[in-house]
Amino acid sequence: MTEQKKPLTLIKGHIIEAKSFSDPVITENGWLAVEDGVVQGVFSALPERYAGAPVEDYSDKLVLQGFSDMHLHAPQYPMLGMGMDLPLMEWLKTYTFKTEARFEDTAFAREAYLRLASELVNNGTTRVCIYSSIHTDATLILMEELERAGVGGYVGKVNMDRNSCECQESTLQSKRETLRWLDACDRFSLVRPILTPRFTPSCTDELMRWLGETARERGVFVQSHLSENKKEIALVKELHPDCEQYWQTYDKFGLWTDHTIMAHCVHSDEREQQAMIDHNVLCVHCPDSNINICSGFAPVRRMKERGVWVALGSDIAGGAQLPMLQVLTCCLRMSKARAIATEGLEPFLTVGEAYYLATSAGSRYFGDRDGFAPGNPLHAVVLDDAALPPSARTLTVKERFERAVYLADDRSIAAVYGSGRRIK
């Protein structure tokens, strides 16, 4: 169900905002005023000026912010949950590159991406920063299907001209196709292009340099991977002996700039973290991927305390969970793994903190302010927890929220609003 934007709507329910990296701010029986798809404000009593406006009544339901999945691989959707017993390199060769290569077939791409977009919406993910494959046409199909479903964000045709088996392009081809793709993106309104060198080992210096120049000339953001595991870090060091640290292999080509997205950063040390802070680089924490591929326990709280901008990603298909509610609880569990591994030195994350990472931290990337701030486009998820187990007493809204985060699946998601319109 994708509706048009409405001139003025009031959304009624228990409104749960991630206004900061801490407990959510809850307005019980509140009103969320929306005009032309843009949030006007959250009110505990209805202001007189809105009297008589049409109401979408979610009384006693939970109104959460829409989720932002800030790192995932669209062409790995067909291999979700597969090959999880394999070591990383074998997994890449047996599944990943072969699966991505299939997206040369535009009919297959259409089928997979139609389904992916629908599953994103169904689970309340309203914005993404997403990897496509090297294929320009499949990338445009992905953009079409996301936009049609009402999912906004950034989509990247992948660049890789070395060390990538079936999926490799020549350097020339990579440049030419990137330009063809960028020129074809003007027609989209919800989704925009983002330059996507897969990661340092899969791009030649020439390609990296060209991508850095193109990013600057065209004013396009960049996404890639950083310090995911120790073998990868050693390989990067081998490939770029002039760089002391992994991040510098992006920096030297102009790819380490404001709003650059770096997935993982599991093993980034203080200096690499400081470089993120200095350049307003977004670190995307992908907890399920980190555990499935045995990358390590990312120091999320430590990074947050230091001032690194951190958001969440499903990283399918290293992650086996597309629903951001699952990614959120996986983030909580992995923060507990970190707490165990550090013997409590780094306390685990709370539900409210992880909710912030899954919503506001990502939506900032798109220019929003935290929570349902006036001026933000409406991105919201309505949770109906009535079908969850009977409880032993009346629960507070905060308790219901926490419980729903752990237990709800798409069946509990009664409505989704993306970019100002109802999309589920």
Binding residues for a second copy, per CB under 8 A? 77-85, 98-99, 102, 108, 111-112, 115-116, 119, 288, 291-292, 294, 296-297, 320, 329, 332-333, 336-337, 339-341, 344, 348, 350-351, 388-393, 395, 399, 402-407, 409
Q: Could you tell me the smallest distance in angstroms from the CB atom of residue 325 to a second copy?
A: 11
Contact 322, 370 (CB under 8 A): no
Q: Which C-beta is closer to a second copy: that of 240 or that of 267? A: 267
Three-class secondary structure of residue 335 per DSSP? helix
Q: Could you tell me the smallest distance in angstroms from the CB atom of residue 405 to a second copy?
A: 8
**Distance of alpha carbon 419 from alpha carbon 424, whole angstroms:** 12
> How far apart, in Å, are the Cα atoms of 136 and each of 185, 196, 331, 368?
11, 12, 33, 29
Q: Could you tell me the smallest distance in angstroms from the CB atom of residue 407 to a second copy?
A: 5
Q: Could you tell me the smallest distance in angstroms from the CB atom of residue 32 to a second copy?
A: 25
> How far apart, in Å, are the Cα atoms of 206 and each of 162, 171, 209?
11, 8, 5
Q: Could you tell me the smallest distance in angstroms from the CB atom of residue 337 to a second copy?
A: 5
Across 4-51, where does the E strand assignment appear? 8-17, 25-35, 38-43
Contact 13, 415 (CB under 8 A): no
Q: Tokens in use for 21?
A: 């990296």
- Determine if the peptide bond prior to 392 is cis (ω within 30°): no
**Distance of alpha carbon 418 from alpha carbon 151, whole angstroms:** 7
Residue with tokens 């640290």: 245
Q: Which C-beta is closer to a second copy: that of 315 or that of 368? A: 315
Residue with tokens 């307003």: 280
Q: Could you tell me the smallest distance in angstroms from the CB atom of residue 248 to a second copy?
A: 26
> How far apart, in Å, are the Cα atoms of 124 and each of 54, 69, 222, 304, 415?
23, 10, 25, 25, 8
Q: Tokens in use for 120?
A: 């994103």
Other beta carbons less than 10 A from residue 278's beta carbon: 10
**Distance of alpha carbon 121 from alpha carbon 249, whole angstroms:** 36
Residue with tokens 């709800």: 408
Q: Which C-beta is closer to a second copy: that of 262 or that of 405? A: 405
Q: Which C-beta is closer to a second copy: that of 141 or that of 281? A: 141
Phi-psi category of 116—alpha, beta or left, where left has phi over 0 and alpha has psi -120 to 50?
alpha
Q: Which C-beta is closer to a second copy: that of 3 or that of 269? A: 269
Three-class secondary structure of residue 269 per DSSP? coil
Q: Which C-beta is closer to a second copy: that of 37 or that of 78? A: 78
Residue with tokens 């409505």: 415
Q: Which C-beta is closer to a second copy: that of 25 or that of 339? A: 339
Q: Could you tell me the smallest distance in angstroms from the CB atom of residue 139 to a second copy?
A: 17
Q: Could you tell me the smallest distance in angstroms from the CB atom of residue 122 to a second copy?
A: 13
Contact 8, 54 (CB under 8 A): yes
Q: Could you tell me the smallest distance in angstroms from the CB atom of residue 398 to a second copy?
A: 10
Q: Which C-beta is closer to a second copy: that of 77 or that of 250? A: 77
Q: Which C-beta is closer to a second copy: that of 39 or that of 141? A: 141
Other beta carbons less than 10 A from residue 149's beta carbon: 22
Q: Which C-beta is closer to a second copy: that of 147 or that of 288? A: 288
Q: Tokens in use for 216?
A: 């600057």
